[in-house]
Amino acid sequence: MAALFAAAAFAVDNTTSFKMVRSQAAVDDKCLKGAKAQVDVRTTPTDNQIMDVTLKDAPKNTEFELFVTQQPNNPFGISWYQADFETNNQGNGEVQARGIFSEELFVFAPGRVKAPQVDDFDAKKNPEFKPVHTFHLGLWFGSPEEAEDAGCSDAVTQFDGDHEAGIQAFSTRNFPKLEGPLGEIQ
CATH code for the domain in which residue 61 is found: 2.60.40
Asked if residue 1 is part of any domain, the answer here is no
Number of domains in the chain: 1
Is residue 17 in a domain? yes
CA distance 115 to 99: 24
Residue 2 placed within a domain:
no
Encode pLDDT of 35-85 as tens digits.
999 999 999 998 899 999 999 999 999 999 999 999 999 999 999 999 999
pLDDT of residue 6: 45
Alpha-carbon separation of residue 56 from 6, 66, 69, 86, 113 (angstroms)? 36, 15, 22, 12, 42
- Cβ atoms within 10 Å, residue 34: 9
| Domain housing 164 | 11-184
pTM of the model: 0.90
Q: Quick: pLDDT tens for 86-95.
A: 999 999 999 9
